Structure 1
Amino acid sequence: MAHRRRPPTSMPQHLPVSACNALIRRSIDLCRLYRHAATACEPGLRMVLNDNAHTLDLLIADLQAQLRARGGRPCEYGSWRGAAHRHLAGWLTRTAARRDSAWIRVLAHAESALLRRFEQAVVAAPVESALVLRRQLPRLRGIHLDMHSLAGTARY
């Protein structure tokens, strides 16, 4: 019996919905963490944190729109882990001597983790999805620079 050669399967064009929703969910979690931190910080830092939250709102809306455009159902809420982390971070920073510095460290760490996830997704994603995700990287890198310059000036 001769073996028939299978036609090559085409590569997927898009990031799976679950992977896209995981990025959206993490972004929502970070956005909520920024907003929570902003309520506890001094007015100058509050303005920076609210600006970063707004940038994340735009990123989330773009990703959700992209997912809807290709027939997917984007998530609208963060994760239970994000909520737990937000409450734990709020509790821990209340006990810190320098609350603003503590919030900056928490946010810088969470922001770096989100940036890494996006960069990993860009590498793993099919070409078309990688382009969509790559367009979000300047926003995330801008937040990254903000937070790490603040972390560098915050003495702890």
Structure 2
Amino acid sequence: MSHAIQHLCNGLIRRSIELRALYRHAATQVGEPGLRTVLEEEAQSLSQVIAELQAQMRSHDNAPATRRRVIGAVRYQFDTLIPRNDDAWIRLLAHHEQILLRAFERSLSKLGPGDMTTALRRQLSRLHSIDLDMNSLSKAIGVGH
């Protein structure tokens, strides 16, 4: 695996770690128990994405990312300091989910055929499922996604 592909994949892992942390935090902040459950499930789905990408990196004898980016940690601090109601959490998570989804799609467009492309396509499918959930929640609160 080239250094460029390793860097690209580790960037996706870091972004996924950042979003998972935000989902977990939001799940502790929302008032609606059903929403809390959905957000916890989305965090678990992201954990699977992360674990599978890390395993793929290891299978190529590369060290996978295990932490978020510095800018991601700063953004997390900012996002979690502002008090939000349930609707605001949904909007914020939907926004960040779209950013992650686009990052995966851009990365796939840069990769040629190979193991990492297959792994990213599998994870992209999982991310689309999370995005559909967030889209449904966004529509339920009357926000375009």
* Alignment partner, residue 53 of structure 1: 43
| Partner of residue 112 from structure 2, selected from 111, 126, 136 | 126
Q: Distance in 2 between matches of 1:81 and 1:29?
A: 10
Separation (CA, whole Å) in 2 of partners of 1:143 and 1:18: 24
Alpha-carbon distance, 1:80 to partner: 2.0
Match of residue 104, structure 1, among 65, 69, 90: 90
What is the RMSD of the two structures over their aligned residues, measured on CA atoms? 1.7
Larger radius of gyration: 1
In structure 2, the gaps of 5 or more residues are: none
Structure 1 residue runs of 5 or longer lacking an equivalent are 1-11
List per-residue Cα deviations over 1:73-125 (Å, max 9, x = no partner): 00111122222222212222x1x4xx100000000000000000101111111
Deviates more, 1:101-110 or 1:72-81: 72-81
**1:30 and 2:16 aligned:** no
The structure where helix makes up a greater share of residues is 2
Pick from 78, 85, 88: which aligns with 1:88? 78
Query: Quick check: 1:14–1:126 contact (8 Å CA) kept in 2?
Result: no
Distance 2:127 2:44 in 1: 12
Look up the match of 1:136. 123
Task: Detail structure 1 runs of 4+ shifted over 2 Å in the superposition.
Answer: 12-15
Deviation, structure 1 residue 155: 4.0
Aligned residue pairs total 141
Alignment of 1:36-47 (within 5 A): 36-42=25-31, 43-47=33-37
The two structures have a TM-score, normalised by structure 2, of 0.91
What TM-score comes out, normalization by structure 1 length? 0.85
